[in-house]
Amino acid sequence: MKISNCKLNRKVQLRLLEFFVLEVTARSAADLLDIHPNSAALFYTKIRQVITYYLEQEATEIFDGQVELDESYFGGVRKGKRGRGASGKVAVFGILKRGGKVYTKVVSDTKAITLMPVIINKIAPDSIVYTDCYRSYNALDVSGFYHERINHSLLFSEGKNHINGIENFWNQAKRVLRKYNGIPKQSFPLFLKECEFRFNYGTPKQQLKTLRFWCQI
């Protein structure tokens, strides 16, 4: 997949790609390049579509070794925690391989029956899986994984027993998304994969190199 059917010239496309990597909004990029804001917004959408395509190709990669699991909630108008307190929010499940990449998936809910198929398909048996004490992770105790829990009501880490890596990703993703004044629910998965890409692909220089190759610009 690549960016196609774009009326912007190659120089402008490259500049927009650079602005995207640097987290400049489409509106600001359009102002700097003296193009219509809708043209910049459409190009940013095309970039996110390319990112989503390639990350979906990578989704078959199996994580092993030490892996962290957690769920988070995005959007909505009510503050709250899991379950009923998350009304109006989008539930996202995250899996992070320590020393490696993060994988995210929008889920309908965070019940064990929903999360366990994702876990089984993504994580190799006998891996060490770290979670907090959320009840949905109880199913891991009778699965083919070594399950370690961290009780956040008592402490946030105990040696290797923590989920700081995946929580760091949630913080980074919410920082990136905060600058947008509301994201339509149907578009949210594209923005989520943008955050996954930024986390997994290193420095802005590395991200730009990857995106130029993927988008063929």
Superfamily of the domain at 66-171: Ribonuclease H-like superfamily/Ribonuclease H (3.30.420.10)
Report the alpha-carbon distance of residue 188 to residue 78 in Å, rounded: 18
Kind and range of the H or E element at 19? helix 10-21
SS3 4: coil
Pairing of strands 90-97, 102-107: antiparallel
pLDDT by position in tens, the chain (length 217): 888 888 899 999 999 999 999 999 999 999 999 999 999 999 999 999 999 999 999 999 999 999 999 999 987 655 555 554 556 789 999 999 999 999 999 999 999 999 999 999 999 999 999 999 999 999 998 788 999 998 877 676 667 889 999 999 999 999 988 877 678 888 999 999 999 999 999 999 999 999 999 999 9
Structural element, H or E, at residue 106: strand 102-107
Q: Where are the domains of the chain?
A: 10-58+182-215, 66-171
Q: What residues contact residue 130 under an 8 Å CB cut-off, 6+ apart?
A: 66, 67, 68, 69, 148, 149, 150, 160, 161, 162, 163
